[in-house]
Structure 1
Amino acid sequence: MTIRHTEAPERRLTVDDLEHTPDDGRRYELVDGRFDVSPAPMPMHSSVDSRLTVHLGMEAPDEFTVLTGPGVNLNANRTHHRIPDLAVFDCDPPDRGYFQVPPVLAVEIVSPESVLRDNHTKRAEYAAFGIPSYWIINPLPDKVGIVEFRLKDGLYQEVTQAYGEEVFETELPFPVRFVPHWLTARGSWREHIGGRSEEGTADTE
């Protein structure tokens, strides 16, 4: 379960306080100066994260940087700090500290304890911060699904859904396609995740 501190601290915490959090595998974020703590990800979650990072990294043009779990400060006073499961930036990483600018894509992978946070809380926060594209991936045991949102007039609008062996394809933040099934399936996922066989035809095996 996500841990939310219910008692008001003596002061609002900032990202400087993250330096004192324990190295216990959990994820420490900040919401309005309070810790929002999540447990270490399950193996299914980690599989999606690592495979998608590899695939996007291979497909991304040189001006983009694909990162797993980058820290992003969502406000100037550094009391609101999020760590997307995966993010794509069109700028160089900061020399010190965390990103202060919106990524061009944020990706969250749903865990049992993060359903509300990923689908509602972070969706609103990322839209307010101006992240142009947001993907939510749900690694269900029987069928992995992805929903793509794009920012329009300050709110996210759903653009695309893909499930299982369907091919997900988008042009933002750069042209990319993949089959959600191969984010977790056993087998030669690198060969099949792009959704095309060597002959260039759709791969549905």
Structure 2
Amino acid sequence: MTVTTAQRITFEEYLSYEDGTDKRYEFNDGELVVITPATVFHNDLMMFFAFFLQSETNNSHHPYCVRVNSTEIFNGKRTRRPDVLVMTLTQKKGLGNQPDILHEPCLLVIEIVSPTCRSVDTVEKRQEYAEFGIPEYWIVDFLLGTFSVLSLVNGTYIEKVYREGDRIASDIFPSISLSMNQVMASI
């Protein structure tokens, strides 16, 4: 849901925006977009991926940082707060004590498809993340039982869809062993 303010706000105003509620927003070219709270199931999936990827990062000694629904990415017009995001440690250090917003592509984003936001998660964000240059985008659709890994090639995502016991392949995490069955069994 987009919240229309009396005046369009700037990105700098967004960074310190406070309306006295617990609502979370994304910035969309001067307007605020309310972020719907996640379901328990959605939160469980986010935490599974965060723990799984953090374990993989630690075991493989990747210089990565895993974030759950906290770091935003800003493409110059709008922000997005992916369910799970993987950035480099250099990117994390570069944030310092600034707002937790990346202005350059992270390595990987994961979106868990919400039934009420299906087209946002699978169409809008796909286009935005590709334009922003995010190398890998995972779409987890528990209603369809699919796990898609999208790899950016020449500005366009090439999608590979996995089901049930299929082991996914990731360029960012080449040694992982993960299937949709494992994901579903974990929650």
* Both proteins in one fold, TM over 0.5: yes
Which bin holds the TM-score, normalised by the shorter protein? 0.7 to 0.9
Number of the residue aligned with 1:101 = 104
- Within 5 Å, which residues of 2 pair with 1:133-172? 133-140=136-143, 144-158=145-159, 160-172=160-172
- Deviations 1:6-56 (Å, cap 9, x if unpaired)? x575234425325315553x5411122212222111111111100011001
**For the structure 1 residues 15 and 41, does the alpha-carbon distance in structure 2 shift closer, same or farther, using more than 3 Å as the test?**
farther
Q: Give the structure 2 partner of residue 201 of structure 1.
A: none
**Residue 127 of structure 1 corresponds to which residue in structure 2?**
130
Q: Does 1:49 align with 2:54?
A: no
CA 1:130–1:171: 2 relative to 1, 3 Å? closer
Q: 1:161 to 1:62 in 2, by over 3 A?
A: same
CA contact (8 A) 1:49 1:86 kept: yes
Partner of 2:64: 64
Equivalent position of 1:81 in the other structure: 79
- Identity level (%): 24
**2:148 counterpart letter in structure 1:** V
Q: Structure 1 regions of 5+ residues with no counterpart?
A: 191-205
TM-score by length of 1: 0.77
Displaced runs of 4 or more, over 6 A: none
SS of alignment partner, residue 116 of structure 2: coil
> Secondary structure of 2:106's match?
coil
| CA shift in 2, pair 1:105/1:135, >3 Å | same
Query: Which structure is higher in helix share?
Result: 2
Q: How far apart in 2 are the matches of 1:27 and 1:47?
A: 19
Q: Distance in 1 between matches of 2:180 and 2:20?
A: 34
Deviation by residue 1:73-124 (Cα, 9 ceiling, x = unmatched): 221xxx4111011111123420112222211111111111211111111111
TM-score between the two structures when normalised by the length of structure 2? 0.83
Bigger Cα Rg: 1
